[in-house]
Chain A
Amino acid sequence: MSLDFPMRSQTAARMRAPNDGIVASQHAQGWIAKRWLSMLNDLPPTLGPNLARGRALARTGRVRDLWFASGLANAEVVDDEVFVASVRVKPFSDAQWDRVVRALLGDLSVVADLLEGTLDPKLPLDLARAGIHLVPRNAEIESDCQCSDFMVPCRHVAALHALLADALDGDPLLLFTLRGKSRDELGALLRAAWGDVGQQEASEPDLVPVPDDDDAFFYGRNGPARIPIVMRASETVAAGVTALGPAPGDVDLEKALGPLYEAGAKAAIELALAEGPESDQRWRRARTEVLPLDEDWTEKVVDALCSIEPATDKQVAAKLQAGVHEVRRELLELETQGMVVRTANRDGSANWMLG
């Protein structure tokens, strides 16, 4: 049987795919990915099966924990065992970084984007035209894996490559990391060029000591804050995204989250208007809950009284399985209409009868 399914026999010893595996796309999308993967095309044809298996591993979510450091990327590949595969890239020299910085400073809009953590995917292309190749050539790469395969790259490194291509496409700034400078380090390098070497302003502490003052525990300094609150529905959908400007990347969050925004805003407005047991003036008066009188209700009370009169309001309520308060109110109303009368008991309660 197994001979009929050769691919299956090869994977028989495999571990289960991890549930936090990262998935590579079927086809390289952006130019950086294409450029990266083209390095592998120059390899001898004997490596073809390794590359194919590596792609398969990457596309089935068998790689996890993709991790970048200066000049290095590695990941765990879950195959018949778990192997750590890594790729090293030759770092730029100081002279090369100088050229990068000089090129970037010619257009402050690019610098600004970099500081905000985004990068136009075309930028590496522009730099390449100026002779700065962010995407390494074959000779600038070394790879390593824990597996026993002597061929380079093994299928695990090939899987890592497939993932790297996609990851770099999604976040081109990682190219700088692979060339030796993280985004923060690159930022520092750029800032140094205009003389900004300080730290950002210190933020407030998250924790504070309890003041040595009894009153401050229960009372603020000047009583409760008097701030205006104005409940208004937003005029635009996803106003938060609009206000912040579109998020970087290839997703239109205004569209994606629009219905969620609408639902959330609606929930907020409904809650703001909702009535509940803690009505706004509860503390003022206890007598305010008054319901409209309902004609059916009147009949019910009269019927009940008919069968058990004379009776107290409690007895009527028990008969109807209704609240004493409501029943009493109805009885009092019926009394004003002359439909029922009452006599006072010596204990202060009243006996009700049909009038």
Chain B
Amino acid sequence: MYDLQATWLPGRRVLFWSAANPTDQTERAVAEELPSIAERGHVAHHTLAAPGAPGKRQKVRGIEVGIEAALPALSRIGRDARVSESVQAWSLACKLALELAARQRVVPTVQQGEARWIALLSREEDRQRIDAIADAMPVAAHAVPASDRGAVMVPAPRVAVRSFVDAAVDCLYRQNAHPGPTRGWGLELATSLRGDQPAFTPRDARNQGVPQMVAAWSSSTEAGGLRVGFHLQAPAADRPEFVLSVALHDAEDHTLWTKAEDAWRAGGQLVMGGRVHSAPARTLLKGLARAWAIYPPLRAVVAGRAAPGSISWKTDEAWAFLSGACERLRDAGYVVHLPATFEGSEHQRMRARLHIETEHDPIGTELLAHWEVVLGDVVVDGTDFAALLEQKQPILQFRGQWVVLDPKELARLPQNLQAETKMPAPEGLRAVLVGDHEGAPVVPGPRLKGILDTLKEPPEVAVPAGFRGTLRPYQMRGLAWLTAMGRLGLGCCLADDMGLGKTVQLIAHLLARGRGRPSLVVCPTSVIGNWAREIARFAPTLRVGRYHGFDRDDSVIDKSDVILTTYGVLVRDSALFEFTKWGVVALDEAQAIKNPVSRRAQSVRKLTVAHRIALTGTPVENRLDELWALMSFLVPGLLGSRQRFQRDFAVPVERFGDDAVARRLRATVAPFLLRRLKNDPTIVPDLPDKIERRDYVPLTREQADLYQETVDDYMQRIRGSTDIARRGLVLAMLTKLKQVCNHPSQLLGEKGGTLDGRSGKLARLEELVETLLDSDQRALIFTQYKEMGSLLARHLRDTFDVEVAFYHGGTPTRQRESMVKAFQEDPNGPRLLIVSLKAGGTGLNLTAATQVIHYDRWWNPAVEDQATDRAYRIGQRKNVLVHKLITQETLEERIDAMMEEKRALAGSVVGAGEHWITEFDDDALARLVALGGDAVLDENLGENEE
């Protein structure tokens, strides 16, 4: 979609077109990326300015839509979406228009006899944002030539943005609402401002001047270089009243200003800070006239006078100004200077603050809350406060200082300040973590604060007894954190980068908990074998029960410390799992429950658990709907209902880039999330440069059947043959079996057809690829077989909708170079590179990859290492994670184990390739290729699709 451009056309239309593919490619790109545009637009031809020499024009074919159809599509494009800058510019302009419309910063005007809504840009920050969009906008966004001939002139960016935003708010505001109580031209104007009949020509003779008057009124804030300012001074010793004076400020630098009296005398010209401003007196008077339209008492500044002056106000008059008018004036573009006391400086404002404390440690289901009155950080005690209230004044003196007692603020306070209320714990926690409860500040009580501090710096723990192996320092910190969260009964998510050893940390945690309620580990089918192996290796004393497969037996639950199961089984046997009270429930690859309405997410939420844990390698905090799904399991209620979350967090952050909301969200989830990155400087010293891990995967039923057929067929023939014929048969069998393990489709030589759900390896590869794409990493995928390479390339492209490069022996040299360059250097290049080439060619440098996946094995460590080293270079300040996919209890696992054993024993490489296997006798060979009992998982691997 990078080359899809959006151009704002006259007549409130947007053209989507592509410079790269001027023909029907554009239509396809629009249909794919902006379906609602494709549906509502039509093909159109336009002449636009062309890049290059001035005066050049280009004919463009694209899809044209009216603004009403463009707005929905533009509003839904995420702030970080990969779209062209012209599309991004109009998407931003659309969102700014939505914001202005929602805030009702919109006014009616009359243009060419038509009533239209336009954006009200009296606020400095609104004008600045229009300017920012205009400044960043590429020419393509507004490349409509003003004339057919001669030098190409296009609309000025600011003019284009302004007209788009105006058209957008007009479109949004033309709803079918009934006007409020009104008569005469008010009714006529309201009627012309709704629906699709904008013509506005008042009938009454009295109202002939109305169109011009409305137009003048609505454009009266169009600003020059000067701003009118109002300066309010608090009473002083020699002066009992507030004084309001007027000044003219430099629009760009408000610290430059001149008193109105002097500006008035200056008449035609005012020089300020070296800048010359024309017509200061006119600016002053016009500004004042608009100001008293907003706040009538300001008229007194000049009423009945021949020169501007200042006015004196009593306390209540000053408060009337302070409590509303001054904000409205600022909104309208005026500068307002107030005494520091009233300038929102917290230490002189009485505020209501919510104090939240926990009754219990660990936190129960409810927290205690009460309100208190604070001046800055200091709590005002009840009697002082009552005395202040007695005075019934919004501004008053307290301990020798002016303080503000805003009635709106005080309305929050309950009658009885001492009253304590109960609050659901998640809601209370959220308020404390964000420091805000419906606009009021929040502080935690000492006990609650102590608990929260513990989470930030959990007390150190020892390696649990019986743990075999070592934990790296950051893993010890992870264990301490899990322990602290567990003690408090708070759900948590360990989201360390892939390769940092989440599994080990969890196993240590499970071991440290000791015996008691059983724990449950839920994981994808493809890694259940891995889990069993890892627990047996690191914590052999833990009794592990596997509960999955067709012939699963629920008696294991009573006999085990840790139950392993899959998401599929969890859904199917949810009643059984709900029946048990669990100590820990850990979700591995927890992105599996990212769809909150899926059955697995629902099943998981129904479990009774003391301590909920999620493990994931994807950056969950960046994917908000997934974050919600995860947190609703870990700490139910913390993020509110899904609809509220969508409205209050997801849309503002993802669509509108609202940083304040993003910060609030981060503050809320931060204590429950631990994510360390491989390149984190505090982690790097603990890590080897290259982390290797074996991923043991099961076969599917289809694979197992084919595997068994192949073994039966070949073993029979092998037993009856000798020498070269036997050797050939053995090698052929090995090849066939490796193909089965890769994918049935490879063995069967299928052309096309579905690959989903038929191979354990492929399922695991999908999981790995999903995680690494989500965390924006690049990976090399090695396979010995070119056919497998193309199958993978096709499948990954279809599944993830990403570009996948495939580098193999048949790739022409020039194409190889561009492929490598795109992978290495192009930020938008492919992030997956499949390599099927022995040794990968010398000098091939693929260091952009942070992960290497060996889909199948060479049985030759030297070759594999050489391949791995494409991504890894000595001295590189980056860790590479290497996965080796191995089908469990098949020849793959057995050969791998033999090679590891020999390598460990002799430190030498077993004979290259597979020839040494041909020397095995028949029985040894049969044992090598036999299908083990746990090789197959009778579960559907496509279950991730749910």
Task: Tell me whether A335 and B96 are in contact in the complex, defined as CB-CB below 8 angstroms, given that A245-B290, A259-B180 are known contacts.
Answer: no
Contact partner of B278 (CB less than 8 A), chosen from A169, A199, A256, A282, is: A199
Closest to A254 in B: B180
Whether A13 sits at the interface, judged by CB under 8 Å, is no
Least CB distance from A329 to B in Å reads 6
Q: Mark A258-280, 1 if CB is under 8 A from B, else 0.
A: 11111111111101111111111
Are A267 and B293 also in contact (CB < 8 A) when A256-B180, A259-B178, A336-B568 are? no
5 further interface pairs, Cβ-Cβ under 8 Å (given A218-B84, A234-B105): A107-B304, A234-B103, A248-B293, A261-B106, A329-B946
Partner of A283, one of B1, B169, B178, B288: B1
Assess the B752–A348 pair: CB atoms within 8 A: yes
A351 → chain B closest CB, angstroms: 12
Q: Is there contact, CB below 8 Å, between A344 and B85?
A: no
Contacting pair A169 B206 (CB below 8 A): yes
- Determine if A227 and B133 form an interchain contact, defined as CB atoms under 8 angstroms apart: yes
Candidates A112, A259, A333; contact of B285 at CB < 8 Å: A112
Q: Is the CB of B286 within 8 A of A115?
A: yes
Residues on B with beta carbons closer than 8 Å to the beta carbon of A141: none
With A and B bound together, what is the CA distance between A170 and B185 in angstroms?
A: 11
Contact (A25, B205) CB under 8 Å given A234-B102, A348-B750: yes
Shortest distance in angstroms between B566's beta carbon and chain A's nearest beta carbon? 9
Task: Indicate if A197 sits at the interface (CB-CB under 8 A).
Answer: yes
Evaluate whether A194 and B799 lie within 8 angstroms (CB atoms) in the complex, with A108-B285, A225-B89, A336-B572 already known.
no
Q: How near does chain B come to A291, taking the closest CB pair, in angstroms? A: 8
Give chain A nearest CB distance to B199 CB in angstroms: 10
A106, closest chain B residue (CB): B306
Interface contact B651-A23, CB-CB below 8 Å: no
Q: A115-B282, A244-B107, A273-B647 are in contact. Are A263 and B177 (CB under 8 A)?
A: yes
B748 interface residue (CB < 8 Å to A) = yes
> Which residue from chain B places its CB closest to the CB of A274 in the assembled complex?
B72
The answer on a CB contact under 8 Å between B657 and A229 is yes
Contact partner of B51 among A214, A236, A243, A251, CB < 8 A? A214
Instruction: Knowing A58-B205, A113-B289, A290-B595 are in contact, say whether A243-B105 is a contact too (CB < 8 A).
Output: yes
B92 touches A239 (CB 8 A): no
Given A206-B156, A231-B98, the answer on whether A278 and B651 have CB atoms closer than 8 Å is no
Q: How far is the CB of A61 from chain B (nearest CB, A)?
A: 7
CA distance A115 to B50 in the complex (A): 45
Task: Indicate with 1 or 0, residue by residue over B93-108, a CB within 8 angstroms of chain A CB atoms.
Answer: 0011111011111111
**Of residues 49 to 72 in B, which have CB atoms within 8 Å of A's CB atoms?**
49-54, 71-72
Name A262's closest neighbour in chain B (CB-CB): B177
Given A234-B103, A348-B753, A245 and B205 contact (CB-CB distance below 8 Å): no
Q: A227 and B293: CB pair below 8 A?
A: no
A280 touches B81 (CB 8 A): yes
Q: Are B194 and A227 in contact (CB under 8 A)?
A: no
Please give, as numbers and ranges, the residues of chain A lying within 8 Å of B656 by CB-CB distance. Answer: 229-231, 272
Out of B71, B154, B190, B332, which one reaches A271, CB within 8 Å?
B71
Whether, in the assembled complex, A16 has its beta carbon less than 8 Å from a beta carbon of chain B, the answer is: no
A-B contact pairs, 6 of them (CB 8 A): A208-B154, A224-B92, A231-B651, A265-B103, A272-B102, A336-B943
Residues 144-195 (chain A) with a chain B CB within 8 angstroms: 162-167, 169-171, 173-174, 191, 194-195
B95 CB contacts on chain A under 8 angstroms: 229, 272
Task: Tell me which of B213-221, B350-358, B414-422, B557-565 binds A.
Answer: B213-221
Q: What's the minimum C-beta distance from A107 to chain B, rounded to whole angstroms?
A: 5
Tell me how far the C-beta of B749 lies from the nearest C-beta in chain A, rounded to whole angstroms: 9
- For window 99-130 of A, CB contacts with B under 8 Å fall at 105-109, 111-113, 115-118
Q: Establish whether residues B659 and A223, one from each chain, have CB atoms under 8 Å apart when the complex forms.
A: no
Q: Is there contact, CB below 8 Å, between A20 and B221? A: no
List of B residues within 8 angstroms of A218 by Cβ = 5, 19, 51, 84-86, 138-140
Contacting A at CB under 8 A, from B247-304, are 264, 267-269, 278-279, 281-282, 285-286, 288-294, 299, 302-304
Quote the shortest CB–CB distance from B598 to chain A (angstroms). 6
Contact of A22 among B34, B203, B332, B945 (CB under 8 A): B203
**Is there an interface contact between B800 and A292, defined as CB atoms closer than 8 Å?**
no
CB-CB < 8 A to A194: which residues of B?
264, 267-268, 281
Do B136 and A220 have beta carbons less than 8 Å apart? yes
- Are B205 and A260 within 8 A (Cβ)? no
Q: Which residues on A sit within 8 Å (CB–CB) of B307?
A: 108
Q: How far is the CA of A195 from the CA of B281 in the complex (A)?
A: 9
Q: Is the CB of A35 closer than 8 A to any CB of chain B?
A: no
In the complex, whether B189 has a CB less than 8 A from a CB of chain A is yes
Which of B145-153, B486-494, B576-584, B927-935 lies on the face that meets chain A? B145-153
Instruction: Give the distance in Å from the alpha carbon of A164 to the alpha carbon of B206 in the complex.
Output: 8
On whether the beta carbons of B939 and A336 are closer than 8 Å, the reply is: yes
Q: Which of A191-210 contact B (CB under 8 A)?
A: 191, 194-201, 204-210
Residue of A105, A283, A346 near B82 (CB, 8 A) is A283
CA distance A211 to B207 in the complex (A): 47
Q: Which residues of B contact A164 (CB under 8 A)?
A: 205
Given known contacts A25-B204, A244-B217, A245-B293, A255 and B180 CB-to-CB distance under 8 angstroms: yes
> Are B51 and A239 in contact, with the CB atoms below 8 A?
no
What's the Cα separation between A166 and B571 when bound, in Å? Answer: 79
Contact A223 B264 (CB under 8 A): no
A318 at interface by CB-CB < 8 Å = no
- Whether the pair A195, B267 counts as a contact (CB closer than 8 A) is yes
By the criterion CB–CB under 8 Å, are B172 and A268 in contact?
Answer: yes
Q: Are A272 and B279 in contact (CB under 8 A)?
A: no
Are B268 and A195 in touch, CB under 8 angstroms?
Answer: yes
Q: Which residue of A lies closest to B265 (CB)?
A: A194
Q: Which residues of A contact B183 (CB under 8 A)?
A: 251
Nearest CB of chain A from residue B161's CB, rounded to whole Å: 10
Residues of A within 8 A of B132 (CB): 225, 227
**A73 to B: closest C-beta gap in Å:** 11
The chain A residue with its CB closest to the CB of B659 is A228
A116 contacts which of B216, B294, B568 (Cβ < 8 Å)? B216
Is B136 touching A223 in the complex (CB atoms < 8 A)?
A: yes
Closest chain-B Cβ to A2's Cβ sits at a distance in Å of 31
Give, as a whole number of angstroms, the nearest-CB distance from B323 to chain A: 14
Asked if A207 and B54 sit within 8 Å, CB to CB, the answer is: no
Determine if B173 is an interface residue (Cβ-Cβ < 8 Å).
yes
On whether A217 and B51 interact (CB within 8 A), knowing A111-B285, A238-B104, the answer reads yes
Rounded to whole Å, the gap between the CB of B649 and the closest CB of chain A is 12
- A336 near B571: Cβ-Cβ < 8 Å: yes
Contact of A212 with B by CB under 8 A: yes
Contact of A344 among B84, B212, B758, B939 (CB under 8 A): B758
Query: Given A234-B102, A246-B293, A216 and B138 touching (CB < 8 A)?
Result: yes
| Closest CB in chain B relative to A116 CB, distance in Å | 4
Pair B122/A116 contact, Cβ less than 8 Å:
no
Which residue of chain B has its CB nearest to the CB of A162?
B205
Q: In this assembly, does A337 line the interface, its C-beta being within 8 Å of a C-beta of chain B?
A: yes
Q: Tell whether, in the assembled complex, residue A211 and residue B139 are in contact, meaning their CB atoms are under 8 Å apart.
A: yes
Contact B940 A239 (CB under 8 A): no
**Chain B 310-328, CB within 8 Å of chain A: the 1/0 string?**
0000000000000000001
Q: How far is the CA of A166 from the CA of B152 in the complex (A)?
A: 49
Q: Does A286 contact B (CB under 8 A)?
A: yes
User: A29 and B206 in contact (CB under 8 A), knowing A224-B85, A256-B182?
Assistant: yes
Residue of A nearest to B226 (CB): A201
Q: Evaluate whether A229 and B84 lie within 8 angstroms (CB atoms) in the complex, with A221-B136, A285-B800 already known.
A: no
Q: In the assembled complex, how far is the CB of residue B384 from the closest CB belonging to chain A, in whole angstroms? A: 31
Q: Please report which residues of chain A, range 313-355, place their CB below 8 angstroms from some CB of chain B when the two chains form the complex.
A: 329, 332-333, 335-338, 344-350
Give the distance to chain A from B819, nearest Cβ to Cβ, in Å: 22
Tell whether A232 pairs with B103 under 8 Å between CB atoms, given A227-B92, A257-B190: yes
* Cβ-defined contact, B151 with A209, below 8 A: yes
A349 with B753, Cβ < 8 A, contacts A22-B203, A196-B281 known = yes
**Interface digits, A1-42 against B, CB 8 Å rule (1 contact, 0 not)?**
000000000000000000011111100010000000000000
**A22 in contact with B205 (CB, 8 Å):** yes
Top 6 nearest A-B pairs (CB, nearest first) are A348-B753, A245-B293, A195-B267, A264-B173, A170-B206, A256-B182
